Amino acid sequence: MWLGKIIGFVLGMMMLGPIGGLLGLLAGHYFDKGLVEMDRRPPQQELGQAQQVFFETVFRLMGHLAKVDGRISEAEIAQAESFMSQMDLSDEHRRQAITLFKEGSQDDFSIDDAMIRFQSRCGRYRQLQQILLEYLFYIAFADGELHSAERQSLEKIAAWLGVQGAAFDRLLQMYSAQFGFSQGGAAPRGSVNQLGEAYRALGVEASSSDREVKRAYRKLMSRHHPDKLIAQGVPEDMLKVATEKAQEITAAYDLIVAARAAEHR
């Protein structure tokens, strides 16, 4: 989108010459960026429908992931209940979530059918796709490991969202590390192993510059901002999970910042 840039450049040149043109170009860039962001949000009349489809897809796919490795473990049941508790669902929504979870755990459940419906209502909105994967990884790691059947299902779901191969592997590492921070981490705080997990949680390398680390952190935090999530179609009573995710990301970032500060003392 170039309209804002063109108008900003022309007006800037007319008012302040070349310097004004550059300033106008910059202002136009942010204007165009805002229009693109608005275009990615569900129109108000479609928001309620997008929220309902997102809600249904999350819990059906969760039920499928819990059962796909053969049986639903106690850890997976506890994680699903914890997930519902974090969202502070109304009694009606909780009953609906349990019903959807059970539907997804049936032998005749189809990932393809669920994703066709999701994409038909929510496929335009990248934010919903990213949050959907986050919530599904949450249940997949419930028992502390990712079984091969769970991974295959996640790969199939991710492929529907355009995430495949190396991109899927990177997301898997990132979400696995973030989940570890929600559990307190397997390694002692400040250890080399946990510091490595912190970098993976932000999707950066230990060799990344301070600026790159901060940029990755801010991007992840922006993605989990409540106002942005609601505007993209995430139901309000599912925002608490995103808040916990933001806390995991912050814990990882704080660990990196503290470790780098210690190195320069």
Query: Is the per-residue pLDDT at 163 higher than 70?
Result: yes
pLDDT-based confidence at 19, cuts 50/70/90? low
Q: Average pLDDT of the chain?
A: 78
Q: Which of 123-132, 175-184, 207-216 has the lowest mean pLDDT?
A: 175-184
For the segment 90-96, the average pLDDT, to the nearest whole number, is: 85
pLDDT-based confidence at 139, cuts 50/70/90? confident
Domain boundaries, the chain: 3-39, 44-263
Whole-angstrom Cα distance, residue 125 to residue 238?
A: 17
For the segment 16-32, the average pLDDT, to the nearest whole number, is: 51
Other CB atoms within a 10 A radius of the CB of residue 225 amount to 14
- Range picked from 3-7, 35-39, 114-118, 146-150 for highest mean pLDDT: 114-118
The residue among 153, 64, 69 whose CA lies nearest residue 105 is: 64
pLDDT-based confidence at 11, cuts 50/70/90? low
Other CB atoms within a 10 A radius of the CB of residue 19 amount to 10
Residue-wise burial string across 207-219, b where 16 or more C-beta atoms lie within 10 A, e elsewhere:
ebeeeebbebbee
DSSP conformation class of 1? -
Using CB atoms within 10 Å of the CB of residue 90, give its burial: 0 to 12 exposed, 13 to 18 middle, 19+ buried: exposed
Q: Tens digit of pLDDT for each residue in 227-254?
A: 777 777 677 767 777 777 888 889 899 9
Query: Is the per-residue pLDDT at 87 higher than 50?
Result: yes
Query: Is the per-residue pLDDT at 6 higher than 70?
Result: no
